[in-house]
């Protein structure tokens, strides 16, 4: 069932100004490909390589306002998410997805009420073997993303904190 829109998110620059000691900023230049650039929530993680069966399975389960951080190894060879999987994320209450990799169906995904940052796009399909690991720490762009951290995204970038921040 669709959930109500998530609460408004703060600007990442304002968060850095107020909480620099606890925040880490990810320097990778992700593209904002979802309908919302601003989103925040607790981090869940996934590590996969050009295989999206686990992506579909996790985004088919209740998100409860979380952000799924997918370390796709930076590969742009195959899309880890398309409009069907992105629609599942919206329907299941995920507020956003960060993909260190590629997606496809970007025009349709841009119309969804979902945060989606990815390195780029590629129409090629992922494999569907189910290979990968969930709920582990992943590192890309020099930043480690771990379950239970809080992630804040906007048009300027992504910052992570060890806990939820007041704003
Ligand atoms: O089937 C896939 O690999 C992903 C996809 O296109 C979708 O989510 O619509």
Domains defined for the chain, CATH in brackets: 28-159 (3.50.30.40)
3-21: per-residue pLDDT in tens? 566 668 999 999 999 999 9
Q: How far apart are CA 78 and CA 152, in angstroms?
A: 26
Q: Distance, CA 125 to ligand 1 centroid (Å)?
A: 7
Residue 108's φ and ψ, nearest 5 degrees, are -65, -40
pLDDT tens for 116-148 read 999 999 999 999 999 999 999 999 999 999 999
| Residue to probe by mutation, ligand 1, list 33, 54, 56, 68, most atoms within 8 Å of CB | 56
Phi and psi dihedrals of 40, rounded to 5? -155, 155
- C-alpha dihedral (58, 150, 8, 57), degrees to nearest 10: 0
CA of 139 to the centre of ligand 1 (A): 25
pLDDT at residue 117 in the model: 98
Average pLDDT over residues 65-81: 98
Coil, strand, or helix at residue 50?
Answer: coil
The answer to whether the complex's ipTM is over 0.90 is yes
Q: Give the pTM.
A: 0.95
- Residue 70's contacts (CB-CB under 8 Å, 6 or more residues apart) are 45, 46, 47, 48, 55, 80, 97, 98, 99, 100, 101
For the segment 31-68, what is each residue's pLDDT rounded down to a tens digit?
A: 999 999 999 999 999 999 999 999 999 999 999 999 99
């Amino acid at each position: 069932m669709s959930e109500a829109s998530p609460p408004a998110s703060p600007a990442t620059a304002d968060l850095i100004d107020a909480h620099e000691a606890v925040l880490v900023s990810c320097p990778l230049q992700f593209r904002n490909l979802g309908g919302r650039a601003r989103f925040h929530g607790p981090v869940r993680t996934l590590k996969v390589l050009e295989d999206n069966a686990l992506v579909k399975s996790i985004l088919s389960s209740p998100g409860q306002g979380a952000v799924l951080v997918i370390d796709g190894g930076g590969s742009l060879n195959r899309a880890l998410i398309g409009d069907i999987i992105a629609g599942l994320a919206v329907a299941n209450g995920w507020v956003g997805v960060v993909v260190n990799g590629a997606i496809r169906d970007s025009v349709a995904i841009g119309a969804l009420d979902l945060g989606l940052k990815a390195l780029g796009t590629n129409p090629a399909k992922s494999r569907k073997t189910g290979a990968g690991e969930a709920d582990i720490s992943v590192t890309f762009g020099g930043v480690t993303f771990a379950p239970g951290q809080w992630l804040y995204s906007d048009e300027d970038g992504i910052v992570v904190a060890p806990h939820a921040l007041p704003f």
